[in-house]
Amino acid sequence: MLSKEKLWGGRFKESTNELVEAFTESVSYDKRLAPFDIAGSVAHVKMLEKQGILKKEEAEKIISGLNEILKEIEGGKFEWKRELEDVHMNIEKRLTEKVGPVGGKLHTGRSRNDQVATDVRLYVRKEIEEILELLKNLRRAFVKQAEENLDVVMPGYTHLQIAQPVLYSHHMLAYYWMFKRDEERFKDTLKRVNVSPLGSAALAGTSYPLDREFTAKLLGFSGVTRNSMDAVSDRDFVAETIFNCAMVMMHLSRLSEELVLWSTEEFGFIELPDAFCTGSSIMPQKKNPDVSELTRGKTGRVYGDLVAILTVLKGLPLTYNRDLQEDKEPLFDAIDTVKLSLKVNALIVEGMKPKKERMREQARKGFSLATDVADYLAKKGVPFREAHRIVGELVSYCLDRGKTLENLSLEEFKKFSDRFDEDVLSLMSVEGSINSRNITGGTAREQVEREIKEIKEEEGF
């Protein structure tokens, strides 16, 4: 019967229903874990030989078979069978076909529970290392934009209303720091990922004299888990990795929103590279920022992955439950999505061009120098709240007469406070406003130059 063909089928008298096989299989997606599964198995076999549990010739035969299977998989010649449920069973079944009954000794002292936990940790570790490199590439693109456009002036916003003038380079570096924090989160997660659960077996450990530290070292883990029950049921590191992906996507979505806005005729701040925009099927003039829009959309998808894994985990008793099979699809999807999004957005940032004159023109609007005038009065001894009121009345005066602060005369300033002197007129430039904010973290050119220099030294750009 079919159940007897299962590696676990000895206890069953009936064949597995075909619908159950379709419902429970995971090999259609977890086969991507194959290289990690084989690496874990090779390390396990080497340890079994070291401990005298396997003979040398047995270990060599199993390892040789595993390496041949890896070549079959990499060459696209491996036949994945749904009835064998998952990547682990498919590989083990093929191993026994190739090397005979000795292949069955591979599973000595091991369960699929600690095996899959090991595979997923190895997979996540590799993917985090790749994501870290992609994050660095994106940060490099922001620094390049800042360095090449150091003196470009633009309006800064709060509530999407013009607030104060800033340097475009300062704005670009704000995104650098977002993605720098993302790097720090992934690096911190890596510490919790890089611990070996192998040897925890089904849930209680094993009676075989395994050397867990030996297999951990072979696999590049920094240590071993300390509780076998926690080891096989822990997916915190999966949830944490997906959360980190969601944070990256949130930052990319904020960037995308600004790029969509900035590329409109209404803003007109940037020109996006043609290679990363698309046209309209009916309107020949259109240049649509579809990549940025899709980045926003895909952010919701990764948020869904996070909700999915948290929901899977929230009600599980110790230890392993089959629900945990559902950890992989959201994990794979989140990682795939964030990697592709990082790649494409780095190229967009690298290729976009600011429209300098338009930015400068807009930076002068919306009474963006009002805070500078209030600060001027405060430095003359006027309490800031009083200065705030005076400048508010000045703005109202300008609005009633169709004027701006820049084209007010000294006499008009003095109507509102006798603290105004000739030097107030020298404040009325966006460059003066920007460079007055010459403190650490401020938008002054000197501060931005220093920030770029320190970043490049730290990052090795």
Would you state the pLDDT for residue 1? 36
**pLDDT tens per residue, range 21-63:** 889 899 999 999 999 999 999 999 999 999 999 999 999 999 9
> Crossing angle for the helix pair 168-193 and 236-262, nearest 10 degrees?
170
| Phi, psi for 146 (deg, rounded to 5) | -65, -45
Q: Is residue 2 predicted with pLDDT exceeding 50?
A: no
Q: What is the mean pLDDT of residues 387-407?
A: 94
d(CA 419, CA 414): 7
Q: What is the mean pLDDT of residues 264-278?
A: 96
Catalytic residue, candidates 28, 64, 222, 280: 280
What are the distances in angstroms from CA 420 to CA 381, 389, 391, 406, 427?
Answer: 11, 15, 11, 14, 12
**pLDDT tens per residue, range 196-240:** 999 999 999 999 999 999 999 999 999 999 999 999 999 999 999
Q: Is residue 80 predicted with pLDDT exceeding 80?
A: yes
Q: Percentage of the chain surpassing pLDDT 70?
A: 98
Of 5-9, 147-151, 277-281, which gets the smallest average pLDDT? 5-9
Of 4-8, 81-85, 143-147, 257-261, which gets the smallest average pLDDT? 4-8
Q: Percentage of the chain surpassing pLDDT 90?
A: 92
- Tell me which architecture the domain covering 113-360 has in CATH: Up-down Bundle (1.20)
Active site residue 256: no
Q: In terms of DSSP bridges, do strands 223-224 and 195-196 run parallel, antiparallel, or are they unpaired?
A: parallel
DSSP conformation letters of 257-310 = HHHHHHTSTTT--EE--GGG-B--SS-TT--B-HHHHHHHHHHHHHHHHHHHHH
CA end-to-end span of the chain, whole Å?
63
| Cα torsion 221, 226, 231, 236: sign | negative
Residue 369 carries which DSSP code? T
* Secondary structure of residue 444 in the 3-state scheme: coil
**pLDDT tens per residue, range 186-204:** 999 999 999 999 999 999 9
Residues 392 and 127: beta-carbon distance below 8 Å = no
* Secondary structure of residue 195 in the 3-state scheme: strand
Q: What is the mean pLDDT of residues 114-118?
A: 98
For residue 405 the two structure tokens come to 């602060």
| Phi, psi for 162 (deg, rounded to 5) | -55, 130
Q: How many helices (H) and strands (E) does the chain have?
A: 19, 6
Please list, in sequence order, all residues whose beta carbon lies within 8 angstroms of the beta carbon of residue 8, skipping any fewer than 6 positions away.
none
* CATH number belonging to domain 2-108: 1.10.275.10
Active site residue 280: yes
Q: What is the mean pLDDT of residues 240-263?
A: 98
* Secondary structure of residue 316 in the 3-state scheme: coil
Would you state the pLDDT for residue 227? 98
Q: What is the mean pLDDT of residues 385-396?
A: 95
For residue 196 the two structure tokens come to 């070996």
Among the listed residues 275, 298, 278, the one whose alpha carbon sits nearest the alpha carbon of residue 287: 278
Taking the CA atoms of residue 371, residue 376, residue 380 and residue 382 in that order, the dihedral angle to the nearest 10 degrees is -20
- The amino acid at residue 435 is N
Catalytic residue, candidates 159, 207, 281, 426: 159
Burial of 256 (0-12, 13-18, 19+ CB in 10 A): buried
d(CA 372, CA 193): 50
Among the listed residues 396, 460, 440, 390, the one whose alpha carbon sits nearest the alpha carbon of residue 420: 390
Would you state the pLDDT for residue 407? 87
Length of the chain, please? Answer: 461
Q: What is the pTM of this model?
A: 0.93
Q: What is the mean pLDDT of residues 147-170?
A: 97
Please list, in sequence order, all residues whose beta carbon lies within 8 angstroms of the beta carbon of residue 29, skipping any fewer than 6 positions away.
328, 329, 332
Where do the structural domains in the chain lie, given as residue ranges? Answer: 2-108, 113-360, 362-446
Tokens 């009083």 locate to 386
**pLDDT tens per residue, range 305-363:** 999 999 999 999 999 999 999 999 999 999 999 999 999 999 999 999 999 999 999 99
Average pLDDT, the chain: 95
Q: Is residue 374 predicted with pLDDT exceeding 60?
A: yes
Strand partners, 157: 162
- Helices marked H in 51-102: 56-74, 87-99
Q: Is residue 115 predicted with pLDDT exceeding 70?
A: yes
Tokens 């005729």 locate to 265
- Tell me which architecture the domain covering 362-446 has in CATH: Orthogonal Bundle (1.10)
d(CA 150, CA 164): 17
d(CA 232, CA 120): 11
Would you state the pLDDT for residue 6? 63
DSSP conformation letters of 124-190 = HHHHHHHHHHHHHHHHHHHHHHHHHTTT-EEEEEETTEEEEEEEHHHHHHHHHHHHHHHHHHHHHHH
Residues 322 and 255: beta-carbon distance below 8 Å = no
